[in-house]
Amino acid sequence: MTAALVPLLGALTCLACAVLLLRGYARSRARLLLWSGLCFAALSLNNLLLGIHLDTVFFPDTPDLRIAIDAVALVGVALLLYGLIWDVRE
Amino acid sequence: MRDFMEGALFLGYLVIALFFLRFWRRSLDRLFAYFALAFAILAASRLALTLMHLPDEAQLLIRTLRLVAFLLILWAIIDKNRRPGRGATSP
Amino acid sequence: MVLRVTQDDLDPDVRRFIVERVDAIELLEVALALRAGRDRDHDAEGLARALGSNAASIGRRLRALEAIGIARPHGAAWRYEPAPALDDLIGRVERAYRERRLSVINLIYAPKPNDITLFSDAFRLRDPKKEDER
């Protein structure tokens, strides 16, 4: 069970970031906030899935979905990188 | 396939950290320093798995690194909301 | 630190127009001068004399106003030719400038939010506008 604690903390942290950034996007329509909000949402999901995967008490015998779990993080990272490269007005 | 994804995530986190570093230099806003450090540590956590040979130690290190990264992000948010100066010029 | 000015006394459309489009008083004054003489042609030299600037600077502002869709050149002359909705907005901006001149000027020269600032501000849990009134 304790193996899942860090990813779950990560999931909550990233969810908080996602909510704040997407709220900021709703207010300002600044696209960087959209991409970063989506990235943190993906990272939150990634951490949540990782936590579930690592948790052997409540979710024993989950198949090895680590590639799919990493893919979620990779999608988030790709979105943020796209936004950082193309959509930052300074 | 996993090695590829680990490598891609390592590089992705690192580049994101570099962007946050740049934002920190532009704005002198501490929040970006914390985020840059957090993402650099997340990158390191991806690297740790490759570098370390003993799986148990690796797991502990990775978990610790990720914990530190998330706590840094949480601290960045708390710091942003703490007092009237609102995380302006970094110390 | 940065003076992040909020002018809650201004109409939100007027505020948005000023923050997004107006980077100097001169731009605003040229627009309003064109509007005041909307049935006439204007030229950079004439406007420069009337407003107390130089023709080159006024010329730049006229081109900026063209990009916004407020002014249109006809040869060497310029005319006030906005879409009706924009004309209405400029009218409100004019009234704001007349009635709350310093608020408008403060807003023109307040630092414009860029994406970096907006990203960081997103993490303020309370409404940033209310903070600045402390």
Q: Model confidence over C66-122: pLDDT tens digits?
A: 998 999 999 889 999 998 889 999 999 999 999 999 999 999 998 777 899 999 999
Say what angle helices C44-51 and C25-36 make with each other, to 10 degrees: 110
Provide the pLDDT for residue B51: 76
Its pTM surpasses 0.95: no
Share of chain C above pLDDT 70, in %: 88
Quickly state the pLDDT bin for B49 (edges 50, 70, 90). confident
CB count, 10 Å around CB of A60?
7
Measured between alpha carbons, how far is C82 from B15 in angstroms, rounded to an integer?
45
C-alpha to C-alpha distances, A76 to A6, A13, A32, B13, C35, nearest whole angstrom: 19, 15, 13, 10, 49
Residue C1 forms part of a structural domain: no
Q: Which secondary structure element, helix H or strand E, spans residue C79, and what is its range?
A: strand C77-80
Domain holding C26, by residue range, is: 12-129
Cα angle value B43/B45/B48 (rounded, 5°): 115
Contacts of A24 in chain C (CB under 8 A): 118-119, 121-122
Put simply, the answer to whether C114 touches A21 (Cβ < 8 Å) is no
- Interface probe with B: pick from A35, A84, A85, most Cβ of B within 10 Å: A84
Residue C37 forms part of a structural domain: yes
Q: Model confidence over B15-44: pLDDT tens digits?
A: 999 999 999 999 999 999 999 999 999 999
Q: Model confidence over C29-69: pLDDT tens digits?
A: 999 999 999 998 999 999 999 999 999 999 999 999 999 89
Put simply, the answer to whether A66 touches B74 (Cβ < 8 Å) is no
Please count the structural domains in chain C.
Answer: 1
Lowest mean pLDDT among A42-56, C13-27, C78-92, C118-132: C118-132
**A56 pLDDT more than 90:** no
**Which of A21, A87, A88 is closest, CB to CB, to C122?**
A21
Contacts of B81 in chain C (CB under 8 A): 123-126
**C25 pLDDT more than 90:** yes
Domain holding A58, by residue range, is: 2-86
Put simply, the answer to whether B6 touches A70 (Cβ < 8 Å) is yes
* Complex ipTM value: 0.91
* C112-117: long-range contacts, CB 8 A cutoff, minimum separation 24: C112/C19, C112/C23, C113/A28, C113/C19, C114/A89, C114/A90, C115/A30, C115/A31, C115/A32, C115/A33, C115/A87, C115/A88, C115/A89, C115/A90, C116/A88, C116/A90, C116/B23, C116/B26, C116/B27, C116/B29, C116/B32, C117/B27
Please count the structural domains in chain A.
Answer: 1
